[in-house]
Structure 1
Amino acid sequence: MPSDTHTLVHLCTPGEWATAQQLGAHRPPSLVSEGFVHLSTPGQVHLPANRLFAGRDDMVLLRLDPARLGAPVRWEPGVPGDDPDMRFPHLYGPLPVAAVLAVDKYRPGPDGRYTALPG
């Protein structure tokens, strides 16, 4: 497990965030298809961002308070090709709007790739 377990983040589109604010929680498709919401630490968020959103410049980064998530968070392996010792936080329930401390723009660099964030 990473040493920084106090800062968790989630990426979504502005439209998904607007819907979550109306409903009180974010329920991405992965909650149905995989049973959890993909989260990251600031130092690893660039990995899923580059896999899923490379070149997009409209993503928002939700900064989360883990104490307010209201469902279990399990630290589990990522996808094949990730460092086998790296674990990603997975939220086994909807992401409550009340757990979001800040919403920031998350933009790729000029080459279309995202970089890690400071903790």
Structure 2
Amino acid sequence: MTIHHLARLHDWTRAVEDGEYRTSTLGLTLDEVGFIHASYAQQLAGTAERFYAEETGPLVVLDIDEAGLDVREEGGFPHVYGPIPVAAVERVVPARMTNGRLVTG
């Protein structure tokens, strides 16, 4: 199954250099939070509008293959316990927030 994570572009760029993604959300690390926030496809726009509405910088949507990851559904959302290997990211989609809404492509 594919899950999704909205990331700041600079966090993803660092992950590519390091070989794994370790940002939970909005500048908080996996070590600080204990897991990485993710969304199912139908939740992504709502997550972006709720938490990223004021983001002005470039974003990316990470499409993640959850096979081999410790993913637990909590509160209706997938949480990834542990770093996400860059190889588990199937697709990276450029994104931005425009007027409080997620725009991809």
Structure-2-length-normalised TM-score? 0.82
Mapped partners of 2:5, 2:72: distance in 1: 15
Mapped partners of 1:35, 1:55: distance in 2: 24
Give per-residue Cα distances to partners, 1:91-114, cap 9 Å, x unaligned. 0001110101111012335x3223
Number of residues of Structure 1 aligned to a counterpart in Structure 2:
99
Residue type matched to 1:31 in 2? L
Mapped partners of 1:30, 1:101: distance in 2: 22
Shift of 1:55: 4.2
SS class of match (1:108): strand
The answer as to whether partners of 1:55 and 1:113 remain within 8 angstroms in 2 is: no
The answer as to whether partners of 2:8 and 2:59 remain within 8 angstroms in 1 is: yes
Mapped partners of 2:30, 2:41: distance in 1: 21
The answer as to whether partners of 2:35 and 2:80 remain within 8 angstroms in 1 is: yes
Mapped partners of 1:62, 1:106: distance in 2: 10
Mapped partners of 2:29, 2:71: distance in 1: 14
Structure-1-length-normalised TM-score? 0.73
Listed as ranges, the gaps of 5+ residues in structure 2 are none
The answer as to whether partners of 2:52 and 2:97 remain within 8 angstroms in 1 is: no
1:98 aligns with 2:87: yes
Q: CA RMSD in A?
A: 2.0
Listed as ranges, the gaps of 5+ residues in structure 1 are 1-5, 78-86
Identity %: 39
Residue of structure 2 in register with 1:51 after alignment: 50
Mapped partners of 1:103, 1:17: distance in 2: 9
Mapped partners of 2:44, 2:31: distance in 1: 21
Question: Which 4+ stretches in 1 moved above 3 angstroms?
Answer: none
Shift of 1:14: 1.2
1:114 aligns with 2:102: yes
Mapped partners of 2:55, 2:33: distance in 1: 24
